[in-house]
Amino acid sequence: MESPSLLRLLLLTVSLCCRPNKASLTLRPSTAQLFYGESLHLSCEEDSAGWTVKRNTTKTTMTECGDTWGKLRASTCVISLTLLKDSGVYWCESREGATSNTVNITITGGDVILQSPVLPVMEGAAVTLNCTTRTPSNLPADFYKDGSFIRTESTRQMTIHHVSKSDEGLYHCNISGKGQSPPSRLAVAALPTAKAPPITKAPLATKAPSAATPPPTDSAPLLSPVRLLCHLVVFCPYFVSTLLLVSLWRQRSAGPEPPVSMATVEPNQADEGLDDKYDDVIANVTTEHDF
């Protein structure tokens, strides 16, 4: 019987293999910039698999929620009062070391922030950037990308329709008399490409003939049995009658001398007998031709 320690090791191995190795970090509010003193909620999609939130800041690295910052509430890490030192990179990590996407969060003590998506925007989608002030303001906002001026919006909102990879970059906004926001990076995710179906070669035996090449035909088709029989029936009477006529002509022109006993027969009667026989043969031949 196996020892309990070996069974425990097997169960642990199975549980580790069956655990998912992917998670996603979500934020509430879903923005990469916050004012000093606001609250922030961070959650891992796969909390049941032992995922937790970690971060790197200018002060500390690889610290876990609940150690020196934040508090765990169920499956969410909560920062009740954000401080400037909370600016940094956040992500989810499992006990086995698997990591999720990373989010760069900026906490500012100024009066202007740029609210932009924390996750990459899909190509072809629309995205709206909001230039927000700590105190209400009706002043227009100027928007910049990679330090270059884009345009001014009276609503302090700039919408990019049909986002493409060329729209990636660092954006910030400026409101006259209030100041400018920290820069935030807008990331664009490429659309998934469909896999092309595999190319299969058609077998040589099934290759279709080209339209310019007609299918082969028999140059001299054989006569069918029925047609052959008809030809024989029509041809035979002509052939037989021809033989009979040739035979009778040869008998009359080069036949043997009649015997002595027949000498007494009158020539006219003999000729008439031959004539009668010839007439009978001609009648028979004519009858066979008429059918």
- 29 preceded by cis ω (within 30°)? yes
Question: What pLDDT does residue 246 have?
Answer: 73
Integer Cα distance of 273 and 55 in angstroms: 141
Residue 76: both structure tokens together: 């969410």
Its pTM stands at 0.58
**Residue type for position 243:** L
Domain 111-191 has CATH 3.40.50.1820: no
Q: Do domains 20-109 and 111-191 have the same CATH topology?
A: yes
Question: What pLDDT does residue 248 have?
Answer: 75
DSSP H helices, the chain, are 4-18, 225-254, 267-290
Q: What are residue 34's DSSP bridge partners?
A: 107
| Domain boundary assignment for the chain | 20-109, 111-191, 228-252+266-290
Q: What superfamily does domain 20-109 belong to in CATH?
A: Immunoglobulins (2.60.40.10)
Mean pLDDT for back-to-back runs of 10 residues, the chain (291 residues):
46 44 84 95 75 93 94 90 96 89 94 94 96 94 97 96 96 96 94 66 49 45 55 61 74 59 46 53 48 43
